[in-house]
Amino acid sequence: MPNAKQPIGRYALAAMAVALVAFLLWYFASIVTYVLVAAVLSLMGKPIVRWLSALHINKWLIPKWLAAAVALAVIGSIFFAFFRLFIPLIVRQFNELRTIDVHALLDSYAYQIDAVQRWVQGYLPHGTGDFELRTYLTDLISGIFSVSMLTGLFSSTANLILNTVITLFAIAFITYFFLKDEDLFYNGLMLFIPSRWEQQMSRALSSIDTLLRRYFVGILCESLCITLLNTIWLSIIGITFETAIVIGFIAGVVNVVPYVGPVVGTAVGLLIGWATNFAMPHDALLSTLIWVFVAMCATQLIDNLLLQPLIYGNSVKAHPLEIFLVLLVAGSVAGILGMLLAIPTYTVIRVFAKEFFNNFKVVKKLTERI
């Protein structure tokens, strides 16, 4: 009887430990976020540090602290140049969309709206005949192009600047030491691991380091390619360069979320293309929107055939159905943020499951490609 109770006691203690860790992660979510972002940046910066540390300049080796500082400066410069280029373009495009006369926009489609209104009313229950499609569309479009959704973020400029500075400094500080001392993150985790599990944990962390580095570098390259391809195609078909690059940038960013991202990016591209050209004759506008759709589909075809197999095949190594189900679960639990973090989180879980729970048949099946 004592032998039967002993495993139950161990499982209960393990469950309590997991619950405590989960609570601490939730309570210190901001600090955990800083550490995770710094860990991701250090994954991308490690190749630079290793390359610089291996250089010989008249028998002088670049010290690790200097290589880490250079790598951090390179990462910071890339992000600064990226946002310095795109943020002003997005702001100008947003200001242009905000000046659109929504009533004039809908007046140009009065016949189509009235036809849809009559069709919808035919399917509405009795007592709901006061539904006005025109009013609904006016509120919807005004909300999309309204600046009110951003005013909450900038209600206090001083707080915004202070929080941004603190966040950037914290992430940069942690990233620097992760780059300078490559084993810092590893050694910190190993402090909480029992000695009998150290070998398994070491293998798991090594696999995670390799897989996540490939994933995040691949995602950045994929987003850049999506942005460039969409910008080129849309510019060729006659969309102004500023509008084309904004659509391309948005499509590149949301494309990080598999399956859902491309649909959202295409929908946003069509919406912006429609809103910025609604004064055109209907036939010309329809032709433009068709070409926008074709251009973005061409980019997505290249992404599906060339880019995604390289990224997900070499890093995530999971079946497409697995990824889709994981995205659905993550989206229902944590929304957009959950979908963004779903794939790397699932990769980490699979690696740990393979090392510590490989005696289960379902774990063997899900991790056989890792």
Q: By C-alpha distance, which of 223, 195, 189 is closest to 208?
A: 189
Sign of CA pseudo-dihedral 146, 151, 157, 159: negative
> Judging by beta carbons within 10 Å of its beta carbon (0-12, 13-18, 19+), is residue 13 exposed, middle or buried?
exposed
Q: What is the pLDDT of residue 149?
A: 45
**Cα 102 to Cα 138: distance, rounded to the nearest angstrom:** 6
Q: In the chain, where are the structural domains located? A: 28-97+161-192, 198-370
The pLDDT assigned to 154 comes to 47
Cα–Cα distance between 29 and 23 in angstroms, integer? 10
Taking CA atoms, 319 is separated from 261, 305, 343, 357, 370, in Å, by 18, 16, 12, 20, 12
CB atoms within 10 A of CB 350: 23
* Rounded (5°) CA angle 136-140-144: 170
pLDDT given at position 185: 67
Q: Please, where are the H alpha helices in 192-306? A: 198-236, 241-254, 260-276, 282-302
CA distance linking residue 41 with residue 224, whole number of Å = 17
Q: Give every CB contact of residue 129 below 8 A, 6+ residues apart in sequence.
A: 121
Per-residue pLDDT, 305: 77
Render the burial of 108-118: b for 16+ CB within 10 Å, e for the rest: eeeeebeeeee
Per-residue confidence of the chain (370 residues) as pLDDT tens digits? Answer: 445 455 566 556 666 766 776 777 677 767 777 887 887 788 778 888 888 888 777 777 788 888 888 889 998 898 888 778 777 777 777 777 666 667 777 777 777 777 777 777 776 665 555 667 777 777 776 666 554 444 444 444 556 567 778 888 888 888 888 888 877 766 777 766 777 777 777 777 777 777 777 777 778 888 888 999 999 999 898 888 888 888 888 888 888 877 778 888 888 888 888 877 777 777 788 888 899 899 999 998 888 777 776 666 556 666 667 777 877 887 777 676 677 777 777 877 777 777 777 766 666 666 666 6
CA 4 – CA 10 distance, rounded (Å): 11
Question: 357: which DSSP letter?
Answer: S
Cβ neighbours for 70, distance < 8 A, ≥ 6 positions apart: 48, 52
Phi, psi at 307, each rounded to 5°: -80, -50
Q: What is the pLDDT of residue 148?
A: 47
Q: What is the CB neighbour count within 10 angstroms for residue 153? A: 8
Question: What pLDDT was estimated at residue 156?
Answer: 47
CA dihedral over 36, 37, 41, 44, signed as positive or negative: positive
Cβ atoms of residues 326 and 244 within 8 Å = no
> How far from 88 is each of 93, 168, 330, CA to CA, in Å?
9, 20, 32
Tally the residues of the chain.
370
User: Are the beta carbons of 326 and 343 closer than 8 angstroms?
Assistant: yes
> How far is it, in rounded angstroms, from Cα 286 to Cα 270?
10
